[in-house]
Structure 1
Amino acid sequence: MTTWSRADIHVHTRYSDGHSSVAQVLEYADHIGLHVVAITDHDTIDGALEARRMARGFNVEVIVGEEVSTADGHLLVLFLERALPPGRPAPETIAAAHEQGALCIVAHPFDWLVSSFGDALIRHCGGEHPAWRIDGVEVFNASLPFPGMNARASLVTAALGLPACGGSDAHHFSTVGLGYTLFPGTSADDLRQAIIRGEVRAGGRAWTAGHYAAVAGLRARRSLARAARIVTRPMRPRRVA
């Protein structure tokens, strides 16, 4: 009998705009029984590398990932060794990721609140454009406020015949695992092979109002702290000519 496991492929930490430490994320992922978690901070892999170093102390395997801000929308890149720069056209980012042996998953394609692929997914990612050869689509993102965003992603992904993945888009450890990718096996490599074969399923439940409120409060607190640092920064005396 095949064992199916859960992986959260979309998680942020304090290394970008998340509000939890790497240790908090790993502790919670272990606590809820996730087998695999991908740390995908915006445009950096520093948090993911720290998580990989720390993972030996937890019963969860870490994937080094990055949510890359391409010129065409956000792209989850999994199984990286080197960070990819933001701002490049998606085909360039996809090619650079594949050169490392990484996988490219389109993040929240129809979330109009942030930079997303949108209709580019329909136009380019169906197989006729080799430069846009993606490996899957995040069809369930637990953070999206409107169910239609995920529903449209599911319909389009099925029509294109692409692997359907899920993630929490966690910005606080308490939302880790709310969205997930089901795969046969238990390891990160099992997940990788399952995505390549298209043997993955997306699942989960949406953030609650409490989750949104908590993250909004933490963001406000961070903004106030930044503003306070700017206000209290000592001013350099101007030179008088």
Structure 2
Amino acid sequence: MMKWIASELHTHTFHSDGSHSLLELAQSAARLGLDCIALTDHNTQSGLTGAEQVERQTGIRIVPGMEWTTFYGHMLTLGVKEFVDWRVLGLEDIHKGIQLVHEQGGIAGLAHPYRIGSPICTGCFWEYNILDWNDVDFIEVWSTLMPTVKRDSQRAFALWTDLLNQGYRITATSGRDWHGTKPDDPLPAVTYIGLEETDDVPPYEQIVEALRLGRAAVTMGPLLTLSGKTAGDEREYAIGDCVEWHDEPDPMAMEFTVNVDMDIRREFYELQGDRFQLVLRSGQGVCCEMQIPAETAAFSFTIHAEAAWQWVRAELFGCLGNAVTLVAFTNPVYIHAPAVQATLVRSGGRCEF
């Protein structure tokens, strides 16, 4: 059974421009009910000194990382312990840098790609030329506090969706960009990472690998997870898995189950209203939707192959901060169905359902 750990994947200490020490950062994370943080100081890894002791003291797993802070964009590198120098790379060279991160067993992702850039925040807006999106492991689609209502995060979410529709498998994450903590801070998003390991403190390499595989869900509160089964197949496909459909699509269908956990970390967020809108979306658009009560429950949907083609994810809409907005979503279960693709090509990309 998969275990989901609450994680913050974009943090800073006073080794760059944060106000916390690593111990203070981990203690703050523990008080917020988190299980894991990634330390991503700007262009330095000196803040990782003493990380193992901080882990033992706080129970918070610390993923080593760094935020490449360049003139052409910020890139989060997770799972790397050795400094990778970005200064030798130009506007057209980002793939060389990603390769160096991958050689260490790490992953690389775009941080806040649509945040305002120069002259307000030089380099914060992504300008690197990406020649092959297969090299990119993740995109920080929700950034800073209350990201779901912010235009730059909405643009990043739309970019991710467009890349999914083009056939790329890229993990979506959130990042608080945590520089300090105030009592009146607005609500941050949380990235839940799905692990097979049952230990309380898994090794960081396992966390990085789960992110590479897309086993993540992002939320402003409730934990939303997704699984699916095809007819006659006992295997349960989890978030990040790829379903292989080789038979003719008709009458092929898949049953998806969405688990909505309204109780997890409940003391750390507040949502208004007693009803939510649960949506299953695919590369073909909205597959199905329903209103659900604000309580922990599981919901099942049967979706035919044509409607589920390419990918399927779950989304939860509700009232947050006096706005009706997206409050949680999963990464996709991917669908590979050559017969469906051929049918859609013959029909000019249209799908009736």
Q: CA RMSD in A?
A: 2.5
Residue 165 in structure 1 maps to residue 173 in structure 2: yes
- In 2, the alpha carbon distance for the partners of 1:52 and 1:23 equals 11
Paired AA for residue 43 in structure 1: N
Per-residue deviation, 1:178:
2.1
Higher relative contact order (CA 8 A, sep 6+): 1
- Relative to 1, partners in 2 of residues 1:52 and 1:134: Cα closer, same or farther, differing over 3 Å? farther
Within a 5 Å distance, the mapping from 1:185-200 to structure 2 comes to: 185=195, 187=202, 188-200=204-216
Quick check: 2:30–2:60 contact (8 Å CA) kept in 1? yes
| Match of residue 126 from structure 1 | 133
Question: So what's the TM-score if we normalise by structure 2?
Answer: 0.51
- In 2, the alpha carbon distance for the partners of 1:193 and 1:176 equals 30
- In 2, the alpha carbon distance for the partners of 1:28 and 1:11 equals 12
Select the structure of larger CA radius of gyration.
Answer: 2
Per-residue deviation, 1:124:
3.4
- In 2, the alpha carbon distance for the partners of 1:203 and 1:48 equals 27
Q: Deviations along 1:67-103, whole A, 9 cap, x unmatched?
A: 0124531100011111122332322221111111111
Structure 1 unaligned spans of 5+: 128-132, 206-241
| Match of residue 150 from structure 1 | 153
Instruction: Give the match's secondary structure for 1:15.
Output: coil
Question: So what's the TM-score if we normalise by structure 1?
Answer: 0.73
Q: Deviations along 1:35-54, whole A, 9 cap, x unmatched?
A: 11011000001112333442
Quick check: 163-172 or 185-194, which moved more?
Answer: 185-194
Per-residue deviation, 1:34:
1.0
Higher fraction of strand: 2
Higher fraction of helix: 1
Structure 2 unaligned spans of 5+: 165-169, 222-353
Quick check: 1:9–1:37 contact (8 Å CA) kept in 2? yes
- In 2, the alpha carbon distance for the partners of 1:177 and 1:94 equals 31
- In 1, the alpha carbon distance for the partners of 2:63 and 2:178 equals 15
Residue 96 in structure 1 maps to residue 96 in structure 2: no
| Match of residue 240 from structure 2 | none
- How many residue pairs are counted as aligned between the two chains? 199
Q: Identity over aligned residues, as a percent?
A: 25
Instruction: Give the match's secondary structure for 1:111.
Output: coil
Within a 5 Å distance, the mapping from 1:34-183 to structure 2 comes to: 34-87=34-87, 88-89=89-90, 90-113=94-117, 114=121, 115-116=123-124, 118=126, 120=128, 124-127=131-134, 133-143=135-145, 147-161=150-164, 162-174=170-182, 178-183=188-193
| Match of residue 230 from structure 1 | none
